[in-house]
Structure 1
């Protein structure tokens, strides 16, 4: 800085020394003086938090009977070893061992090892990612060698890789759409509309935009203003959810309370059998978000009786 130094109030106490060098600018014929400021900053260290990733399953591996059998046998052996070695564990410790064992073996047998691009493009393959990374590195090398004797060399290398990436991306996109067209055509031929519409919905994206949905008032007139549409939604839910009701306490007291026989109570209080646990696991829906333990329903179903016995 020349003549003076501007310091923010936040860093005013960080300035340790300011000096003027009067002879530093004497050779260039100016009446300004060079100032030097010494500042000491204390930077805060931000702790890196470990990001937890959920288990991604390959649905095609879950239908492989060999992998499912190996998964079940491995779980059975692990359950026997844990029961033999750790007989004094608490319930929470046993459940933690169960979750860790299921997730570890599920990742080993049914984990999805496919590399997925950050943008989520299905046609983006690992081969394309490798060549794109090479192109990015070539561009950085070109920028680092600007105004040098090797600039033409790195520039030509970058342009060559950029052309290769362009051709490969075009070819891969063309092949990708051809594959999807064949899948849709085959699904239509075998009268499988479910698969057809699944592919179409996947290609369409997240669904219809709310801003494009037509909203009508009570008289059937279409509302075009966003403010009027929000007021109409508010009015609709207010009328639907806020219903005036009157409760008669005498009527509530006349409702008989259900009573259970001793036999039914003993049946409900009994420890569930393995078959009942297997039946309950089979009723869980697939492709749903797992609970706090991050164990998906597909892994529980793949374990069969071995999972039920462990539970």
Structure 2
């Protein structure tokens, strides 16, 4: 089917699939090494735990195996405690960096830190409390509490006494036509590298890798957006990253929320 005949949503899905599949094909997936936040002490404990595991397999008698199993179990507990401590310290340090970056307007550092905070190592659900300060232990209930908190925070009621602001003059010379290819090219060039990707998983670098191609495919997409009067569903979604502040981290109000949107709509 000719691209001009496709719907806006189908056109966007084609663009997203082309960009994400090319990124995976050319760049591949990140290799997993040990986490950067794991301390030397924890790595030593992990090594010791592996030695204890090997001792179980090398046991010659039942008594030796029972003893080795007990030592391995204790070593495993120590590793888990040490990893938990390292992870908590790392997330707290990242949160402090993000707060400082937001305070001074350092968007590059804020993007980088937010991307780390939204990584797999920070996705474990932390215990939180409900409005009555009762602890919530069930994972889905914790997520419901976070949804409730941010809905209340971000959907404030309209003020009863709005400020008296003079209405803007009508008839201003505003261009309401779709953006031109040149405007898109300039906008893509100005996107900052290192920006955390949103729900579409398209990094800024993918859009900037061939600006001439990007401006052409986005130009057609924007034309369809103007014609249909709506944007892709992905652009209405965002990844809400919780950044801890100071205080009791079991209380939702002691977190700052940063929303990661699709790069194309920012």
TM-score, normalised to structure 1, is 0.31
Greater relative contact order, per chain length (Cα 8 Å cut-off, separation 6+): 2
Q: Give 1 or 2 for the bigger CA radius of gyration.
A: 1
TM-score, normalised to structure 2, is 0.36
